[in-house]
Structure 1
């Protein structure tokens, strides 16, 4: 059985139009090699739903679909300071008891918290409302800087466009990197941003010639993962000192050059493991880890499983003896 097939996005009155669009873009996508999800927008009573933009959405399903879905996404809504009604909270609890995955996008985390589903867990939300979430629900450990936090059955994410990171992480976790990367490419998005990455940057990156050089270096790094990539070499290519490069890199990406390169290498290794029969040693060489032992250590630390186990779970190649 696939990890999850039916996806229900809960849209209360005042739901975020952007958030609804993000969920639909990821889980209603169609194309070769992509999972075939049964995506539905649901609300308390089927029909038109006013959004935060004033434009209506049509939700064809009610709370019965919410309680029965494999994945439930609680969308942000304008009146999130008022908890959802008992019927919604019961439907969320029923989904949890049945083993469904639950994801709270932005202030959609407040709905999960109101249902008691975040008690004893770490969670995040839009940084602007993290203190309110912590004050309202002291049993929740709120981490305001994270893009998303994966607690197994329950996942929460930051505001606005970070919903893409949340949804792509879920897709990557359950269906593998190739599916997530395919959708990310179609949407012209980064294939993966780590959940611990900062939600926002304290100062914007000035638009000048150094930005162009930084972008060129990032493109070069993506195309040369098999080569050694010390920070000093990246700084040299950007025509900056190592210290200036590290500072500017952090301002532009919210992370360090070393962490960014490691994440890129693991992501590329995932895709090669899923879509090729290359030996693990060769995968390690192609992504710049040098040996299967180093690749294995990074995989276990970052993905929780060794490369061969990952390949068995997510390979997109035909199984031996399988028929077309």
Structure 2
């Protein structure tokens, strides 16, 4: 629990901009606001991050009573989003964030808010997180940032960043626990009907496409045949012979055609089918293993956990479609 002046509530400033996203604004407002538990644990204020009207992307408008000078007295400053990754925020805001962090404030970037903190040079040499879809862009723009592409949120020396959208809830609950007990933070989570902690990281949500076809017709036919027979064992020598190639030539051409080794492609195919079976059927783990061709339950669990950072049972718990059992 973070030490605070017992006579003063920790102050939270949520910085808002034109073209804001209502969801991203509502997350810190609900977690840190007084309405969730009908009691104030933070002194919450909305701060205009720039001059002019503050309109949302769907036409809502926010009227704020505070300007950037309010950041000089805030314990926690939250940038809940940013409207476009190509736009550098105004220099007055960036300077205010730098001064706030230098005097000891926590500076938080939720989702694309991490871009604002990066533009302010607050992430140089620090670990950070952002939405997985923007990993390549973020790393190219800010090569001095140690981007953790799997983390739901990251703290490094009072600079806190989170992954996309709903990960902002996880991040704000984490901050709540820093200033108060886990017991109170868990009450907030229950009131919001969200888990106090989420297992795993972004890996379980990342779209990881695999090649469906290639420019090689023989490789395409082979891949389709393997998909229909995933439960079987597949030998490189036998597969190479089936397409009238040497093992070495087959290995080279498969890698060139798909961008993956045959072993990587096969494991990924099997994991994708396993995902679908866990989400849409009541098959036991043993049955899933049998249908997808993994050599053992242990091997399946190891491969699944390595790829998605959660166990198969945790995946099923999170994504199983209950509607499949409804009539």
- Per the normalisation by structure 1, the TM-score is 0.62
Shift of 1:173: 2.6
From 144, 164, 167, the equivalent of 1:162 is: 167
2:27 corresponds to which residue?
22
Structure 2: tracts of 5 or more residues without a match = 208-271, 287-295, 316-327
2:4 corresponds to which residue?
2
From 67, 87, 105, the equivalent of 2:110 is: 105
The answer to whether structure 1 residue 137 and structure 2 residue 192 are counterparts is no
**SS of corresponding position for 1:156:** strand
Shift of 1:115: 1.0
Shift of 1:194: 5.7
Residues in 2 aligned to 1:114 and 1:76: alpha-carbon distance in whole angstroms: 13
Residues in 2 aligned to 1:35 and 1:83: alpha-carbon distance in whole angstroms: 34
Residue by residue over 1:78-132, the C-alpha shift from the partner in whole angstroms, topping out at 9 and shown as x without a partner, is 2332111111011101111110001100110111111111011011111112222
The answer to whether structure 1 residue 210 and structure 2 residue 265 are counterparts is no
Preserved CA contact (<8 Å) 2:37 2:191: no
Bigger shift: residues 77-86 or 200-209? 200-209
1:306 corresponds to which residue?
none
2:310 corresponds to which residue?
255
The answer to whether structure 1 residue 186 and structure 2 residue 195 are counterparts is no
From 123, 132, 138, the equivalent of 2:128 is: 123
Shift of 1:77: 2.3
The answer to whether structure 1 residue 92 and structure 2 residue 97 are counterparts is yes
Structure 1: tracts of 5 or more residues without a match = 215-231, 233-240, 261-324
Shift of 1:184: 0.4
1:70 corresponds to which residue?
75
1:56 corresponds to which residue?
61
Larger radius of gyration: 2
- Per the normalisation by structure 2, the TM-score is 0.62
Residue by residue over 1:200-253, the C-alpha shift from the partner in whole angstroms, topping out at 9 and shown as x without a partner, is 154675654529x99xxxxxxxxxxxxxxxxx9xxxxxxxx95599489969x8
Shift of 1:195: 7.5
Residues in 2 aligned to 1:199 and 1:67: alpha-carbon distance in whole angstroms: 39
1:36 corresponds to which residue?
41
**SS of corresponding position for 1:39:** strand
Preserved CA contact (<8 Å) 1:50 1:56: yes
Preserved CA contact (<8 Å) 1:33 1:179: no
Shift of 1:75: 1.8
Preserved CA contact (<8 Å) 2:94 2:120: yes
1:153 corresponds to which residue?
158
**SS of corresponding position for 1:106:** coil
Residues in 1 aligned to 2:53 and 2:43: alpha-carbon distance in whole angstroms: 20
Residues in 2 aligned to 1:48 and 1:184: alpha-carbon distance in whole angstroms: 33
Residue by residue over 1:229-286, the C-alpha shift from the partner in whole angstroms, topping out at 9 and shown as x without a partner, is xxx9xxxxxxxx95599489969x85137999xxxxxxxxxxxxxxxxxxxxxxxxxx
Question: Superposition pairs for residues 296-315 of structure 1, below 5 Å?
Answer: none
Preserved CA contact (<8 Å) 1:46 1:60: no
Residues in 2 aligned to 1:116 and 1:79: alpha-carbon distance in whole angstroms: 18
Residues in 2 aligned to 1:243 and 1:210: alpha-carbon distance in whole angstroms: 19
Shift of 1:56: 1.9
Residues 194 and 83 of structure 1, relative CA distance in 2, 3 Å threshold: farther
**SS of corresponding position for 2:14:** strand
Shift of 1:171: 1.1
Shift of 1:161: 0.8
